[in-house]
Structure 1
Amino acid sequence: MSGGPVTVERLVTSGTFTLDGGSWEVDNNVWLVGDEREVVVIDAAHDARAIAAAVGDRRLVAIVCTHAHNDHVNAAGELSDATGAPILLHPDDEVLWRMVYAERGFEPVRDGQVIEVAGTALRVLHTPGHAPGAVSLYAPGLGAVFTGDTLFSGGPGATGRSYSSFETIIDSIRDRLLVLPPETVVRTGHGDTTTIGAEAPGLEDWIARGH
């Protein structure tokens, strides 16, 4: 029985990002991918109640974290408790996860793993650099990739803080993301969407400029 067409919904939540003793007010994109019956949440940020309301009466298949900076996971625990959905995270980000959840576990995801929702495949691409366990989720059936804070409209994510590397994020973008079809829509962790084709020409400029 079909649950209708698969859709991508964006919910913007607001809160605080903290790391290395600093604190910044941020707006985060929370992505919901699914149909009328079931859905995946990508990056449960700041407001578990608002995210649960967006999920509605659909089955929450999983809460997928593109990385474990607090502003991308700080609503994951409450949302998981409310729905029973597992929290999925690349294990290389455990050090960042423990800064938010000292005792709570998560289900590890690996490069190449496929997460299925409503007949749609989300393929895990390990794209470290912004964080060691950062992943992107490629949905070829939707013509989209969810990049978290790895690639934004205008260039790579920040790499000036602990557990980050500019050289690594450039390698991830070049080798894992820019090889996707140029029309692929890039749905980011903050701000506006873009496309792979729009971002590809700027890579050499970013390499030359450094970070």
Structure 2
Amino acid sequence: MTAIVQNLVTSGVFELDGGSWDVDNNVWIVGDDTEVIVIDAAHDANAIADVVGDRALRAIVCTHAHNDHVNAAPALAERTGAPILLHPADRVVWDLTHPDRAPDGDLADGQTITIAGTDLKVIHTPGHAPGAVCLHAPDLGVLFTGDTLFHGGPGATGRSYSDYPTIVKSIRERLFSLPDATSVRTGHGEGTTIGEEKTASKDWPES
């Protein structure tokens, strides 16, 4: 059975640099009837666990460590026994939210995570955060971008640990090489495609 993609929207608060904003987050559950991974455990561990159900949760994969993407990760890990995986370059961001609880394992560029017979390749895409990653599932024609790429352009870079030229380079060099028809599943809001964003990128500012 090929893996399927499920979406759960959770709501909470994003906090950084002394500010706070109400946000809705996309939580992505990828797998089959027996096993899944969760991409970005945001806000509500119980709601995520309810969608996982009696399936084995193999990993909690963090696209980056801003609090609204990882605040439910430790509780979900404790409830399910699943390891939390994060790119080590984002540990500095993780520690802002969870200073007393380290991730359980590292994500690395080029690493493959296999769930339900489906491979997801880790692509390191710094810019929104230093350890931001995307996950590409070629067999599904899907790319999970966290807050690196949205419908309408790059993720925000106006706060600590972020950089606009870096995120643009990540997107253009690492993501725009994927097929135009690739479905982009974002960390917030509606999805898009690689082709649509590639076309729109000609209007992006350079700095």
TM-score range, shorter chain: over 0.9
Once the two structures are TM-superposed, the CA of residue 204 in structure 1 deviates from its matched residue by 2.5
Assess if the C-alpha contact under 8 Å between 2:179 and 2:194 holds in 1. yes
- For 2:92, what is the secondary structure of its paired residue? helix
| Corresponding position of 1:165 | 163
The match for 1:38 among 35, 60, 77 is 35
Distance 1:94 1:206 in 2: 29
Q: What is the CA-CA distance between 1:46 and the residue it aligns to?
A: 0.1
SS in 2 for 1:51: helix
Residue 12 of structure 2 is aligned to residue 15 of structure 1 = yes
Does residue 75 (structure 1) correspond to residue 72 (structure 2)? The answer is yes
Deviations 1:166-204 (A, max 9, x none): 000000000010100000000000000100001001223
Q: What is residue 187 of structure 1 aligned with on the other side?
A: 185
Task: Give 1:207 deviation, angstroms.
Answer: 2.9
Aligned length: 206
- CA shift at 1:157, angstroms? 0.3
User: Is contact 2:2–2:117 with CA below 8 Å preserved after alignment?
Assistant: no
| Match status 1:104 vs 2:101 | yes
Q: Of 147, 150, 153, which residue of structure 1 is paired with 2:151?
A: 153
Deviations 1:63-89 (A, max 9, x none): 000000000000000000000000000
Q: Counterpart amino acid of 2:190?
A: D
Tell me, yes or no, if the aligned pair for 2:2 and 2:118 is still in contact at 8 Å: no
Unaligned runs of 5+ in 1: none
**Structure 1 residue 5: deviation in Å?**
3.9
In 1: Cα distance, 2:131 partner to 2:170 partner = 12
Q: Is the 8 A contact 1:144 1:184 kept in 2?
A: yes
Aligned residues with identical type, % of pairs? 65
- 2:45 counterpart residue number: 48
Whether the aligned pair in 2 keeps the contact of 1:170 and 1:207 (CA below 8 Å) is no
Contact map agreement 1:67 1:131 (CA 8 A) in 2? yes
1:123 aligned residue: 121
Alignment of 1:61-72 (within 5 A): 61-72=58-69
- TM-score, normalisation: structure 1: 0.96
Aligned to 1:88, the other structure's residue is in SS state strand
CA contact (8 A) 2:65 2:90 kept: yes
Quote how far apart the aligned CAs of 1:205 are.
1.2
SS in 2 for 1:168: helix
Counterpart Cα distance in 2 of 1:47 and 1:77? 11
Distance 1:141 1:207 in 2: 33
Q: CA deviation at 1:6?
A: 1.6
* Normalised TM-score (structure 2): 0.98
